[in-house]
Amino acid sequence: MSNFIRIESISHLHDMIGCEKPKHPMVSLIDQSMIKIQIPVTGHQITSNFYTITLKNVHECKIKYGRQNYDFQEGTLMFLSPDQIIVPISESEKIESDGWILLFHPDLIRKSSLGKKMNEYSFFSYDTHEALHISEEERKTVTGIAEAIRNEYSKNIDEFSQELIVSNIELMLNHCKRFYSRQFITRKNVNKDIIIRFEEFLKDYFESGKTESQGLPDVKCCADALGYSPNYLSDLLRKETGKGAQEHIHYHLIEKAKNMLLGTEEPVNRIASLLGFEYPQHFSKLFKNKTGVSPAEYRS
């Protein structure tokens, strides 16, 4: 038997957990206290084709995403995008929570301005252990918006319904972006440790000669080494240093290239190869873009 479960629609999820049919095919707010059926999903890989925002108000379950285990804590928001996979690794016998789950299908927002800017809400690509921890006041804010969404889709649908629902979803996401910004600020000591580890990883990578055999490190490679998702790492670095992960990688690359250009007699093509470039012209283009001169001009 396959251990993979795909939830095809919001209606499908309602059926799985014993809730009445959704009032709207593309958006739903589920009170966790109303869940009637506990599905034995421990160890299964679960994915869906819609966006999910989950508010948990009690410590009650564990989920594994990637290599990390994550405990839901009081006042926690977790965001999942379509096709993102989670693995529940423990279940309580009974869910007792005043939390909620907001579900919305990509088709709901596809033609809206929100649909065009969903990539701005990078927290949908964070690992679950990078969830958003919110205060009581923040919890009330997002819950109030969630209730407004439910009130709108529960009414008789008219020409304004979808626009108002999507506007409220966007409002919630904008608040969450603000809350994440606050969370980055309040975790400065932890963030500084991550930055130090990131810089040490890059320094070791370039000094050890891994670029020749393994190629240039990308953001995912760095994030995996540190135990974070690429988007979370880049957002954290941008908040703390003003530069994203890719910019930090390029900085270390250019510094290493400068040392090789001035400290060795290796041809530029060979230096490009040692730094992980398959095509020397790509190295020259990046070097000039970052320094204003070509590698040969810099060496001269």
- The gap between the terminal CA atoms of the chain, to the nearest Å, is 66
* One domain, residues 114 and 252: no
Q: Would you say residue 68 has pLDDT above 90?
A: no
* Final residue of a structural domain among 134, 162, 186: 186
* One domain, residues 113 and 238: no
Give the model's confidence band at 70: pLDDT under 50 very low, under 70 low, under 90 confident, else very high.
Answer: very low
* One domain, residues 130 and 172: yes
Total domains in the chain come to 2
* One domain, residues 170 and 255: no
The DSSP secondary structure of the chain, one letter per residue, reads: ---EEEE--HHHHHHHHTPPPPSSTTEEEEEGGG-------TT-EEEESSEEEEEE-S---EEEETTEEEE--TTEEEEE-TT--BEEEE--SS---S-EEEEE-HHHHTTSHHHHTGGG-GGGGS-GGGPEE--HHHHHHHHHHHHHHHHHHHS---TTHHHHHHHHHHHHHHHHHHHHHHHHHHTHHHHHHHHHHHHHHHHHHHHTTHHHHH-S--HHHHHHHHTS-HHHHHHHHHHHHSS-HHHHHHHHHHHHHHHHHHH----HHHHHHHTT-SSHHHHHHHHHHHHSS-HHHHH-
Tokens of 190: 């932890």
Q: Would you say residue 3 has pLDDT above 90?
A: no
Range of the domain at 259: 189-299
- Span 114-142, average pLDDT: 88
Question: Would you state the pLDDT for residue 40?
Answer: 57
Summarised one tens digit per residue, pLDDT across range 129-153 is 788 888 889 999 999 999 999 999 9
Summarised one tens digit per residue, pLDDT across range 202-212 is 999 999 989 99
The CATH code of the domain that includes 83 is: 2.60.120
Question: Would you state the pLDDT for residue 74?
Answer: 55
Question: Would you state the pLDDT for residue 69?
Answer: 47
* One domain, residues 61 and 81: yes
* One domain, residues 33 and 50: yes
Give the model's confidence band at 62: pLDDT under 50 very low, under 70 low, under 90 confident, else very high.
Answer: low
Instruction: State whether the Cα torsion 48-148-142-21 is positive or negative.
Output: negative
* One domain, residues 204 and 181: no
* One domain, residues 204 and 97: no
Summarised one tens digit per residue, pLDDT across range 215-253 is 999 999 999 999 999 999 999 999 889 999 999 999 999
* One domain, residues 241 and 179: no
Query: Mean pLDDT of all residues in the chain?
Result: 86
The CATH code of the domain that includes 284 is: 1.10.10.60
* One domain, residues 160 and 76: yes
* Final residue of a structural domain among 149, 170, 186: 186
Question: Would you state the pLDDT for residue 148?
Answer: 97
pTM of the model: 0.71
Q: Would you say residue 92 has pLDDT above 80?
A: no
* One domain, residues 199 and 219: yes
Question: Would you state the pLDDT for residue 149?
Answer: 97
* One domain, residues 42 and 149: yes
* Final residue of a structural domain among 186, 211, 239: 186
